[in-house]
Chains A and B, each alone.
Chain A
Amino acid sequence: MSARLPRKRFYRARAHSNPLSDSHFPVPICPSDVDFASHYPPQFSAPVVRFADVGCGFGGLLVALSPLFPDTLIIGMELRDKVTEYVKDRIHGLRATNPGHYTNISVVRTNSMKYIPNYFHKAQLSKMFFLFPDPHFKEKNHRRRVISLHLLDEYAYVMQLGAIIYTVTDVEELGDWMKSCLENHPLFEAVGEDDISTDPVVKLLISATEEGQKVARNGGQTFMAIYRRVPSKED
């Protein structure tokens, strides 16, 4: 019964993973080296991924986005091996139980802080998600945060003009950090309140993710920063 959905308790994993350690999993040399065709069924010939959920965790957002954007290819990126396996099995299970659906989502195990440019061409992505990332409270560990001024350079590189970056956290300190990184980056501009309120994706940031549901259950606060990729203001 491979069609059955996987159960989380068989995929127990650590809550954290060190993004600084040398990777021992295979890493594609360049974007054309990534075999995206094996991730999506053949109806997507020469697949081009447009959305990336960085640190997708157990894949709640992927599953929620899939029916909303049936023609858009979405990839989840996760560093923890077992969690990636869970998401893979979850997607396979969903595809088997709902034929024709959930064909546009998939997951790769990778360290996105090191290898984003190995997966995507320049200006390929139209949405990037960073939901409930590891807060790394200690100052000496701030360089392990997935949003930083320098890493935003790389995210800006793979995002097309007008593409949206979504960040959300339940940790106020991290929320402030992510907001200030995006605010101080010349290639990003805050998305206006009007656009946020009409964006169907925004609601999913909290309701669709396991972490978001946990926060909602506990009546916690969330801190969002949603920014748009803009051209360089130089010249």
Chain B
Amino acid sequence: MEEGLIEESESANACTDEAAPALIAVHPTESSVVVAVGSELRVFDLRGDSAVSPLDDLGGPHHSASIRAVSFSSDGELFASAGDDKIIKIWKTDSWNCIRTVQSEKKVSAVSISQDSQYVTFADKFGVVWIVSLKEDRDTKAVPILGHYCSIITSMKFSPDGKFIATADRDYKIRITVFPRNALKGAHEIQSFCLGHTDFVSCLAFVCSQDQSKGLLLSGGGDLTVRLWDYISGSLLFTCALADEAGNLEASEIEENDKRAVTNICASSDGSLIAIAVQSFNGVMLLSCDLLAKTVSFVKNVSMEKSYIPTSLALVSSKERLWTVMGASNLTSSDLTNNNQQLLTRVRIISFLRKDPLDSCSRDSALLEDSEVPGGEKLLMQLQGCLDAAAQEAAFAAAAAAVRTSLQNMMIKKQYSVERRELRKRNRNDKKIKS
């Protein structure tokens, strides 16, 4: 009987079509917004005030499975999307035309564009980071440049000066690698490891002083902390534990065995404004980083409606706006699809108003109503799939549960009891054949 139970739970874990959280990315000058949900890229051009359908004149394949990673280049000219369909698509953001489709051997978990927009890097599910040069001909293949040993890479970011590439993984590690001038030959020189998280690392964000002389790195993870690192030396400068802040939330219902993890982080470049999303928390937590004192402090929670647990955040420093999205793909039931079988997402925006123009740290935050959203109904229609997304509470509750389960399955280390390990040994396949 016990064996039956184990088999069952294992086959449940083996389900590979896990729910993928909806992602949001905003152009650095806020000229366009992208929501990725399932295999769909929903683009809204804010400057032209119109919905855009990304096109591939080269005839490459479109995304056919969940998109797991999206990224704008720092100058905003390029955009990259990649995911479970093992293709990476690189888009020109002026026309939203695809300029390159790259094949990966494995599913992709992270994608990034180098600061000079010459290279696109992506991480596959075995923890290998590959690079594609955009300089050369169309047919250049991706080459591996570094590897986290068979660990899922959860986040990959270039340092603001472009000299380093930071990769975070499920094995609690953050690796800082020198990004060489000839990156196609591999990135073998490790500058440092930032070690201190006591659970998986889920997200990274670089911050730096205005003259760029001192850059630091922020990370969030499954231990419900945000940590500040001197990434050149790998030393941990500050740990901001958020268990109390997350625990005191009246609105959120903490379920038993519920893992509270920081799932997403974004920061203004000077660190004065940090926004994080937390597993099962209906809203966004705001923090602030003091680059001189090297501290991170909790500022406040911005709570949203009960069923709204953001799956992705994007901060546009210049416009003082935080874009958030919630949604999921691959749901087993059709909970999150409306009649047209379109995947539902919900977009919410927090606007920050400086109280005092001279003091960059004091801000008022306001959650925008749907009527106040830039781009208005047209934008919501394009990005959410419908206008009355707020009414679909049950659907979003299902999405939140699915995203939570998939995160658990992917990130939490499997811990087997001694008895279970013994049982698994006894049931080894090679032994079965012999007997």
A residues near B (Cβ < 8 Å) are 20, 22-24, 29-31, 113-115, 117-118, 122, 143, 148-154, 156-157, 185-187, 232, 234
How far is B186's CA from A151's CA once the two chains are assembled, in angstroms?
13
Which residues of the partner chain A approach B192 to less than 8 Å between Cβ atoms? 122
Number of B residues whose C-beta is below 8 Å from A? Answer: 33
For A112, the closest partner residue in chain B by CB is B149
A-B contacts, 29 of them at CB < 8 A, read A20-B150, A22-B413, A29-B196, A30-B196, A31-B195, A114-B150, A115-B171, A117-B193, A122-B192, A122-B234, A143-B126, A149-B144, A149-B188, A150-B144, A150-B146, A150-B149, A151-B147, A153-B147, A153-B188, A153-B189, A153-B190, A154-B149, A154-B190, A157-B190, A185-B188, A186-B186, A186-B188, A187-B188, A234-B182
Interface string of B160-184 (1 = CB under 8 A from A): 0000000000011100011011100
Which residues of the partner chain A approach B414 to less than 8 Å between Cβ atoms? 22
Q: A24-B416, A150-B144, A234-B180 given as contacts; is B195 within 8 A of A186 (CB)?
A: no
How far is B21's CA from A111's CA once the two chains are assembled, in angstroms?
32
List 20 additional contacts besides A114-B151, A122-B190; criterion CB under 8 Å: A23-B413, A29-B198, A30-B196, A31-B195, A122-B192, A143-B150, A149-B186, A152-B188, A154-B149, A154-B190, A156-B188, A156-B190, A157-B193, A186-B186, A187-B188, A187-B189, A232-B178, A234-B180, A234-B181, A234-B182
The residue among B177, B190, B198, B416 with the most chain A CB atoms within 10 A of its own CB is B190
Which residues of the partner chain B approach A24 to less than 8 Å between Cβ atoms? 415-416, 421
For A151, the closest partner residue in chain B by CB is B149
For B126, the closest partner residue in chain A by CB is A143
Say whether A114 contacts B171, CB under 8 Å. yes
Which residues of the partner chain B approach A148 to less than 8 Å between Cβ atoms? 147
How far is B126's CA from A20's CA once the two chains are assembled, in angstroms?
10
B185 within 8 A of partner (CB): yes
Which residues of the partner chain B approach A149 to less than 8 Å between Cβ atoms? 144, 186, 188
How far is B128's CA from A57's CA once the two chains are assembled, in angstroms?
29
Q: Could you count the A-B residue pairs with CB atoms below 8 Å apart for me: how many are there?
A: 72
Interface string of B24-51 (1 = CB under 8 A from A): 0000000000000000000000000000
Say whether A232 contacts B196, CB under 8 Å. no
Q: Please give the distance in Å from A83's CB to the nearest CB on chain B.
A: 17
Which residues of the partner chain B approach A23 to less than 8 Å between Cβ atoms? 413
Which residues of the partner chain A approach B150 to less than 8 Å between Cβ atoms? 20, 114, 143
B residues near A (Cβ < 8 Å) are 126, 128, 144, 146-147, 149-151, 171-173, 177-178, 180-182, 185-186, 188-190, 192-193, 195-198, 234, 413-416, 421
For A157, the closest partner residue in chain B by CB is B190
Which residues of the partner chain A approach B180 to less than 8 Å between Cβ atoms? 234
How far is B416's CA from A16's CA once the two chains are assembled, in angstroms?
20
The residue among B150, B198, B421 with the most chain A CB atoms within 10 A of its own CB is B150
How far is B171's CA from A150's CA once the two chains are assembled, in angstroms?
16
How far is B193's CA from A115's CA once the two chains are assembled, in angstroms?
11
* A-B pairs with lowest CB-CB distance, top 3: A150-B147, A30-B195, A157-B190
Which residues of the partner chain B approach A153 to less than 8 Å between Cβ atoms? 146-147, 177, 188-190
For B197, the closest partner residue in chain A by CB is A29
Which residues of the partner chain A approach B198 to less than 8 Å between Cβ atoms? 29
How far is B196's CA from A153's CA once the two chains are assembled, in angstroms?
21
Which residues of the partner chain B approach A143 to less than 8 Å between Cβ atoms? 126, 150
For B182, the closest partner residue in chain A by CB is A234
How far is B171's CA from A113's CA once the two chains are assembled, in angstroms?
12
Q: Please give the distance in Å from B429's CB to the nearest CB on chain A.
A: 13
Say whether A186 contacts B171, CB under 8 Å. no
Q: Please give the distance in Å from A89's CB to the nearest CB on chain B.
A: 21
How far is B186's CA from A115's CA once the two chains are assembled, in angstroms?
22
For B147, the closest partner residue in chain A by CB is A150
Q: Please give the distance in Å from A153's CB to the nearest CB on chain B.
A: 5
Q: Please give the distance in Å from B194's CB to the nearest CB on chain A.
A: 9
Q: Please give the distance in Å from B37's CB to the nearest CB on chain A.
A: 30
Q: Please give the distance in Å from B372's CB to the nearest CB on chain A.
A: 45
Which of A29, A113, A150 meets B195, CB within 8 Å? Answer: A29
Which residues of the partner chain A approach B189 to less than 8 Å between Cβ atoms? 153, 156, 186-187, 232, 234
Which residues of the partner chain A approach B195 to less than 8 Å between Cβ atoms? 29-31, 117-118
Which residues of the partner chain B approach A150 to less than 8 Å between Cβ atoms? 128, 144, 146-147, 149
How far is B62's CA from A155's CA once the two chains are assembled, in angstroms?
40
How far is B186's CA from A185's CA once the two chains are assembled, in angstroms?
9
